[in-house]
Amino acid sequence: MSTRVNHHKATPALAKALSDLSMAVSQTSIDPALKHLIDIRVSQLNGCTFCLDMHAKEAKIAGERELRLYHLTAWRESPLFSAREKAALAFTEALTQIGPHGVSDVLYRSVAEHYSEIEISELNFAIVAINAWNRLGITSRMEPGALDGAYGLNKANLE
């Protein structure tokens, strides 16, 4: 297998800009627990194993219950997620797997029942950011767990 691009080395200014966006998103009003769920769900949908691995470990370290992580692929049917979380997850999926008609008015109204205009914008940026990271991770094929030591993810005790 040939070596894949390292985006941080090849285009450091662009990688920093995306990192800056992610840092800005982490400073918004989005509940950190919900942010972890968004990052994990997007990474599941996109098949980015590096990001899925990293964000599942971050969620566990932050105190997310493992059962909710196991239920995330079936969030619609699971009683473990609130109506507010389910609205955000539906929005997450719609923006990750954009259909021919985008985000429907019905879905947008459902999200707007639970989130203010500012919160919807913040959710949108969070979803955009993790989708961007997924695409970089998929291209580079970074090995899951490769940066656990650098990011302090070993303490998740997930192997």
CA dihedral (114, 43, 134, 53) positive or negative: positive
CA–CA separation, 23 vs 27, rounded Å? Answer: 7
Cα 112 off chain centre by: 20
Domain ranges of the chain: 31-144
What's the average pLDDT block by block, 10 residues per block, for the chain (159 residues)? Answer: 81 96 97 98 97 95 95 98 98 96 95 98 98 95 74 73
SS3 call for 54:
helix
Query: What pLDDT is stored for residue 144 in this prediction?
Result: 75
Residue 2: what pLDDT? Answer: 53
Topology of the domain covering 31-144:
AhpD-like (1.20.1290)
Q: Any idea of the CA torsion for 88, 91, 96, 99, to the nearest 10 degrees?
A: 160
pTM equals: 0.91
Helices and strands, counts by H and E, the chain = 9, 0
Q: How far apart are CA 45 and CA 147, in angstroms?
A: 22
Is 129:22 a contact under the CB 8 Å cutoff?
A: yes
